[in-house]
Structure 1
Amino acid sequence: MTDGVTKDAAPVHSRRWRWYFAAIAGFVATYALIWVAVLKDLRGSPFRWHRTNDGAILRKYIPRKAISMFASDNQSTSQKIPRLIHQSWKNIDYIPDKFEPWMHSWRVKNPTFDYMFWDDDDNLKLFEVHFPQYYPMARQLRKIHLADMTRYALLYRYGGVYADLDFESLASFEDLLHYDLFLSYEPFVHSVLLEGASEPVLCNAILASRPGHPFWIEVLDRIKTMFETSDDRDPVSLTGPRMVQGTVSARHGNLTDIALLSEEYFYPDVAYWNMGNLENNCKHMKDKPQSVKDACAWLQKYPMGRKTNNTHAVHHWQCTWCRGDNTNSYLALDDIFPRQVVYRPHFDDSIVL
C-alpha cells in the first residue's frame, strides 16, 4: 500500500527551494537584460554619465528607451520642451563660486529635470561633430561668440532649457514646457536707455525649445552670413541678443511656433552695476522721447526691480565677458554638485560611468 504520494515526488520543502531559486534566477536575468539595454542605449546617447567624487547614483530619465522597460514615462502629451537644463562655463574646474547658489536653484526648483553642463571644449566639439558647416567659423571666433553659438546649436540638437550661470530659478518651469520655443524680452529700461530702442528687445541669456526647431538654424545661418560679409565682431551684434532679435524680425511676423515672453518672466531686475549709465540717460528729460520718459519713470518706481506671479527666474546681469569674473574664489563642478548626477556631453561611442 501507499500513502497516496508517489515515490518520485519531491518533498514540499525541496519544491519550495526550487521555486525560490527560479524566482531569483529570473530576477537576475531580467536585471541583466535591462542593463544590457541601458548600456547599449548609452552608446548612442548624446550624453555620458559624470560620476561625482562621492559616487552619484544614476537617475531614471536618460536613456528613456531603456528605462521605459521598467518605468513608465510621465511626460505630458502637451509637453514639447524636454526636462533638460543646460548650463555652461569655460571649464569644469574653475567656476566662480558666486554662481553656486544660482546653479543649485535650478535643481531645487526643477527636481524632475536632468542637468547637463558644457565647457569650452565641449562647445567646439559640438560643431566639429554635429554642425561641420559652422566649424571653421567656430574655431576662429572668440570664446564668448562660441558660447552664444553653442546655446543655439545644443537646443537644436537636444532641446531643453538653456540658462546662463548668472540666472537664478525662482519657480518650476513645468508650465512652460508646452511651447515649441520661447524667447524673452530684457528689461524695457535696458532696451530704451542702453540699446537706444523704442520698444523692448530680446535677450539670449535664457532660451528653450523642443529639439530640431528650425529657428536655431536660421540664427546660425545669419551668424555665418554676417561673419563672412562683415568685419563687425561685437558679440552682442554678431552672435548675441541683436542677432536673435534680427532673426525674429526676418520672419516678418511668422511666429506661430515661437513664444515671446514679457520681461516679467525672466528679467524683472536691471543691471544694478550699470545704474549710473541708466540714471545719466534720464537727466534733462525735457527733450527726450516718450519711450525714454516711460523707462525713466519705471526705473524711479521700481528701483529694486519688479517681480510678479509670472516671474520664473531672475537674471543677475554679471556680464563676465565684459566685466571679468570679479572673484578670486573658484569651485570645481564636483564641489558644486558633490552628490548629484551631472550629465556631460560626449561625442564618441565610449561609455563613462
Structure 2
Amino acid sequence: MRIRNVPVLRLFLGFDKRKQRRITVLIGAFLFLVSLHFILKWDASNHESNFANLDIDIPENFVPVRVTEREPLPVSGSSKIPKIIHQTWKDVDVPIQFSDWIKSWLSLHPDWEYWLWTDSDAEQLIAEKYPSFLEIFKGYTQPIRKADALRYFVLYEYGGLYVDMDMEALTPIDPLTQKYSCFIGQEPYEHPILDTNFEKLLINALIGCRKGHPFMKMLIDSLPAYSIMWNYLDSTGPHFVTSVFRQYEANVPMLEDDDGFVYVTPSEYFYPFIDPDKLKYMFSLCSDHQKLTTLQLKACRNLKFKYLPENSIDLKEIAFTNHHWYHTYLRKMFSTADRYVSIYLLIPRVKTYNLHKP
C-alpha cells in the first residue's frame, strides 16, 4: 500500500516519536475494538446450546419467568393509536442491511403510513415546536442521544408506533393497538439482572402511543434533568425510560381503562431472543454460580430452564417482532464499508417532516 508513491512505513518513520506513539495507540485501540466485537460474537450459538448443561440445580418448585402464549387480544376494531410507523436515520440513505426489516413493516401493515425522521427533520421539529429544548438537543454529543430523545417528541406530537431500524415485523401489531393506547416492551428478563443486578428494564426500541400521552410528556419534561448523565443509557436510553416510568407508575392510576395507562409487554412480544453479544458473558457468569447474587442465580436458573430441550417453545409464535440487536451506535466505530439505499426506493410513499407537518 502506498500514499502518493511513498511507502506507509517510511511515512510513519518520518514522524517524530510523540506522533508515532499516538498513531500506534490509535491503531491498537482500533484493533482492540474490532477484536472485542468478534470475540463477543464468537460461537454465540454454541454458548446458547450449552446453557442447558450449566452446573446449576433447578428446584422442583421453580417457576420460570417467561410467557408461553399471547394474552387474549382483539381480532378487530379501531386502533387506539394513529396508524403511523416512525423510524429515524441521519438522512434518507439508510443501511442496506436494514432493507428487509424496514419493508417488513409496510408488508404487514399496508394501511399504515410510514414516516422517516432525518437529523435535519429532528432539529427542525425541536426548533419549531419545542424551542426551549433546542440547546440541550444540539448539545448531545452522541447521535444515539438525539435519536433517543426524538422518539419521545414525535410520539407525543403525532402518536403512532416508533420502531428502531433493526426491528423486524413478524405479525401485524394491530391487535395490541386495538387494546392499548400506549405500550412499551422490556428487555429479556436475564439482561438487566446479569448486567446490573436489577429486574425489569424497559427498552425504547419500540413504543406505541397515542398523541399527547402523559407518559411521553413526562419523558420529555425529564430529559433536561437527565442530560447531565455520563452514559446515554442513563440520559436518554433504556435506563432513563425505566427510571421515569417508575416515577410515572407511582403517581398515575395504572388501570387498564385509565386514559394514562401504559402497558409494559412481556419481553417475548418484541424481544424474543437474548442479545447474542451477551451470551458468552452470561454463560461465563452463570458458570461461576458460587459468586452470584440471589437474583442472578434465579436468572441463570431461568436461562437453563428455557434451554432445556423439554422446555423449548416456538417464540416466534408469540412474538410480534424480532429485535436483531444490531447496535448501530457501536458498529460505527469500526464499520468501513457500509452500503446504503434511498428510503424512497424501499418505501416510495415515505413521508418526511416537511411533507406531513401542519
Provide the TM-score with structure 2 as the length reference: 0.70
Aligned residues with identical type, % of pairs: 28
- Residue in 2 aligned with 1:56? none
Aligned pairs for 1:65-144 (under 5 A) are 78-93=78-93, 95-142=94-141, 143-144=143-144
Deviation string 1:22-65 (CA, Å, 9 cap, x unpaired) is xxxxxxxxxxxxxxxxxxxxxxxxxxxxxxxxxxxxxxxxxxxx
Quote the Cα distance in structure 1 between the aligned partners of 2:304 and 2:137. 42
Q: Relative to structure 1, is the Cα distance of residues 253 and 292 closer, same or farther in structure 2, using a 3 angstrom cutoff?
A: farther
The size of the alignment, in residue pairs, is 269
Unaligned runs of 5+ in 1: 1-75
Quote the Cα distance in structure 2 between the aligned partners of 1:267 and 1:258. 18
Quote the Cα distance in structure 2 between the aligned partners of 1:335 and 1:130. 26
Quote the Cα distance in structure 2 between the aligned partners of 1:262 and 1:348. 33
Q: Provide the secondary structure at the position in 1 that maps to 2:317.
A: coil
Deviation string 1:135-168 (CA, Å, 9 cap, x unpaired) is 1100111321110110000000110000000000
C-alpha RMSD over aligned residues: 2.4
Quote the Cα distance in structure 2 between the aligned partners of 1:348 and 1:175. 26
Quote the Cα distance in structure 1 between the aligned partners of 2:120 and 2:351. 15
Match of 1:330, as an amino acid?
R
Larger radius of gyration: 1
Quote the Cα distance in structure 2 between the aligned partners of 1:306 and 1:296. 20
Quote the Cα distance in structure 2 between the aligned partners of 1:116 and 1:309. 28
Indicate whether 1:331 and 2:336 are aligned. Answer: no
CA shift for structure 1 position 271: 1.2
Q: Relative to structure 1, is the Cα distance of residues 327 and 295 closer, same or farther in structure 2, using a 3 angstrom cutoff?
A: farther
Structure with the largest fraction of helix: 2
Q: Provide the secondary structure at the position in 1 that maps to 2:161.
A: strand
- Residue in 2 aligned with 1:296? 300
CA shift for structure 1 position 129: 0.8
Q: Is the 8 A contact 1:129 1:347 kept in 2?
A: no
Q: Provide the secondary structure at the position in 2 that maps to 1:87.
A: strand
- Residue in 1 aligned with 2:23? none
Unaligned runs of 5+ in 2: 1-75, 256-260
Q: Is the 8 A contact 2:344 2:350 kept in 1?
A: no
Quote the Cα distance in structure 2 between the aligned partners of 1:285 and 1:183. 32
Provide the TM-score with structure 1 as the length reference: 0.70
Deviation string 1:263-289 (CA, Å, 9 cap, x unpaired) is 011011111123222222212112423
Match of 2:111, as an amino acid?
T
Indicate whether 1:307 and 2:315 are aligned. Answer: yes
Q: Relative to structure 1, is the Cα distance of residues 335 and 308 closer, same or farther in structure 2, using a 3 angstrom cutoff?
A: closer
CA shift for structure 1 position 326: 4.2
Q: Relative to structure 1, is the Cα distance of residues 278 and 336 closer, same or farther in structure 2, using a 3 angstrom cutoff?
A: farther
- Residue in 1 aligned with 2:352? 344
Quote the Cα distance in structure 1 between the aligned partners of 2:129 and 2:78. 28
Indicate whether 1:190 and 2:187 are aligned. Answer: no
Match of 1:190, as an amino acid?
H
CA shift for structure 1 position 209: 0.4
Q: Relative to structure 1, is the Cα distance of residues 170 and 253 closer, same or farther in structure 2, using a 3 angstrom cutoff?
A: farther
